[in-house]
A and B are shown apart, each in its own frame.
Chain A
Amino acid sequence: MIQMEPKILGKSDIKRNSKHSKTMVSLQRKEGLQGYLFIAPWIIGFLFFLAGPLLFSLYGSFTNYNITSSMDFIGLDNFKKMFTNDPIIWLSLRNTLYFVVVSVPLTTAGAVLLAVLLNQGVRGMRVFRTIFYLPAVLSGVGVYLLWMQLLSPSTGLVNTLLGFVGIEGPAWLTDPSWTKNALIFMKMWSVGGGMLLYLASLQGVSPSLYEAAEIDGASTFRKFFHITLPMITPVIFFDLVTSTIGAFQIFQEAYVMSESGDGGPANSLVFYNLHMWNKAFEVFDMGYAMAMSWVLFIIILVLTVFNLKLAPRWVHYEGEDQK
């Protein structure tokens, strides 16, 4: 990069001259060039660190690549194996779907609810907003370890609190029928990120709509369901699409919070990406793992297209013609 500097200097020198002698076209050219220069880091990054590996993994998914000894073209064998010969992949897909289906609506509803509550003009709203947003800032492994403590069956804070109201809490992370719910519960804690989006869009809802509704004698509930919700549907839609994609990619939580990272107990935390990771970095069956990643891509793609197709039925954009 350092070498480029004199070049740029040189160009600006020319530019000064060109004011008098050269045409506007060449000036535009130069500006265009500089523009490309500025985005060059991104383009290089994209080509070599994204597009390159992407294409490589597409090709790799048709091979038995294992990093060191083989990379033979084996056609669709990896995909065949997925459908006929890998019992864990179906289990992992089921676990992942469960997580998506339960966690996405819950976190979305939670975020909307929180945002609406905070939008009531309560005193100290800034403080609450910060508090609720805080978990979204804290990241990764530290938080998971904290939650492992909180969810500990007999001394954890969660079960202690449940104990006060007479509920005997489950063994969150060791009982396979509770492990996924434990993760979803944990996810609910960090809905602050979505909340902030909703809060912004709530504040963009024109007060005149509420005034008009009040004059017509609409109740609070009717106002919420007929004004507030429709007005923020674009954000709900965005949140839904992105968090569905995110939920399909769940990995870290299971990797950190299950015993020795294997997705136990009884495979209850084996998510699709964890299984893929095991295939790639435990047994180095890279070709197979690459094929898995493309299947996941297709699943997410189909779902997202489906979401987009469904959107016009319920997403309301202001100023758009209603059918």
Chain B
Amino acid sequence: MTLLILAMSFSLILTGCSSKESGANESGSKSKNGEKVVIDFWTFWGSETRRPIIEKIIDDFNKSQDKIEVKHTYLPWGDVWTKNLASIAAGNPADLIINDINAVGHRAKNNQNTNLAKYLKKDPAVKDRFFPELYNASLYKGDPYALPFNTDTRLLFWNKKMFKEAGLDPNTPPKTWAELEEMGKKLDVKKGNKYERIGYLPNQGIGADVWMINADGKGYWDFDANKAVINDETNVKALTWMKNYYDYYGDKTINNFKAEFGEQTADPFVAGKLAMTTDNANFFTKIRDYGEGMEFGVAPLPEMEPGTGNESWGGGFVAEIPKGAKHPDEAWEFLKYLTDVQAQEYWAVKNFDIVANKEAAEKASTSTEFTEDGKKVYSLANENMKQTLLTPTPIEAPDYINLIQPEIESVLLGKKSPKEGLDDAQKAVEELVKNNK
């Protein structure tokens, strides 16, 4: 008897759930002739600035045809990934989702997204819309499993007024690491033994990994040879340079500096405590909104030595169809729209974001909606995409960064030499790769 009641009440709960589910399915399924197919699109863009932009794009698409209706579901950053996984496992995922570009391959390997090869076969031109580096990052075993949506690239920003004060030419940024260091030190302002302003900090905004990429176009991983190259010569050189630069100011200064400008609070460059910084192209929006008319310059990252190249680093997001989505065909139609020039240009201009569509990025860089400064930064970023490396997480080494990052920190803290730290990281990652084969 007890069991019966238990069973009954539980079945009640179950029916409660399933009735909800079937309700969702009903509205989502292809209904009788002429009615629209509703597809569910998940993003983490819920902020006041981004939400209206993506919803305008969706709205435009919905109005442009009468077969598909896209419904936007906002889920908070972080939460959206776990929810996506759970819904895929439950067989009831979204039809389209915005996800990280670096793990497309991992998701493909683990049956979390849909192979788009058959769609691209029908629409082969779609492939050529994108910056090739971004499209390549969406491939797994040669097949696309996502289409790139947006990206970013690291640039050097400098404060022109401070350059003038320090007797430097405000229109000539440092070209090499040596110049960066030399000019940086000239821009320091010291009161007693406390720094009131620092010229440049090599691990502000970007880390050792980006300088390693900058040095020879390869970071921790050689994507051509598909192996870890963490302790190669240029990487050791880059980390040594960084470490020496770091030591010039010392732990205390840098720790204090870092703590004053945690992630939540103001940026030191914008606050006038730093004369040069290296950051994403859309860092410009912070200067624009909080810099109080700061005169700034922007340039590609300096190169290690003359001729080694100004390679930079970028990431980004893709849109993909989760495995098991009910309406992949309709999702593909919207995916095409989402990555086409009109939608991409709108996103680029409204968000000051580098978009994956080359033509849209090109158009955006001359957009009349941007100020002169905006155009300057955007077109440089657009140009910089040619020398921007993406670092999709190698299939064999899912959490390799977790093994490398602490070693880098140990080196910067003086607990290991750059060579030792990188050797240890290399060994640990090789071990990881061996175990994942």
Contacts and interface: CB of A to CB of B under 8 A. Distances in A.
B259 A262 contact: no
Given A68-B112, A175-B251, A152 B259 contact: yes
Interface string B1-28: 1100110111011000000000000000
A152 B258 CA distance: 9
Contact of B405 (A69, A262, A279): A262
Interface in A244-258: none
Contact of B10 (A7, A44, A262): A44
B285 interface: no
B260 interface: yes
A176 B407 CA distance: 13
Contact of A33 (B2, B256, B413): B2
Interface residues of A, number: 46
A68 B255 contact: no
B1 A284 contact: no
B409 A40 contact: no
B405 A154 contact: no
Given A68-B89, A262-B402, A154 B110 contact: no
Given A40-B6, A154-B260, A155-B260, A1 B12 contact: yes
A176 B405 contact: no
A67 B85 CA distance: 7
A4 B402 CA distance: 52
Interface in A141-180: 145, 148, 152-156, 171, 173-176
Interface residues of B, number: 42
Contacts of A267: 406, 409
B5 A36 contact: yes
A171 B257 CA distance: 11
Contacts of B13: 44
A85 B259 contact: no
Contacts, number: 102
Nearest to A176: B413
Contacts of A284: 85, 110
A66 B110 CA distance: 8
Interface of A: 1, 3-4, 7, 33, 36-37, 40, 43-44, 48, 66-70, 81, 85, 87-88, 145, 148, 152-156, 171, 173-176, 259, 262, 264-267, 270, 278-279, 281-285
29 contacts: A1-B9, A1-B12, A33-B5, A36-B2, A40-B5, A40-B9, A44-B9, A44-B10, A67-B89, A67-B110, A68-B85, A70-B110, A81-B435, A85-B431, A85-B435, A152-B262, A153-B255, A154-B259, A155-B260, A156-B259, A171-B252, A173-B259, A176-B413, A264-B405, A266-B413, A270-B406, A278-B399, A278-B402, A284-B110
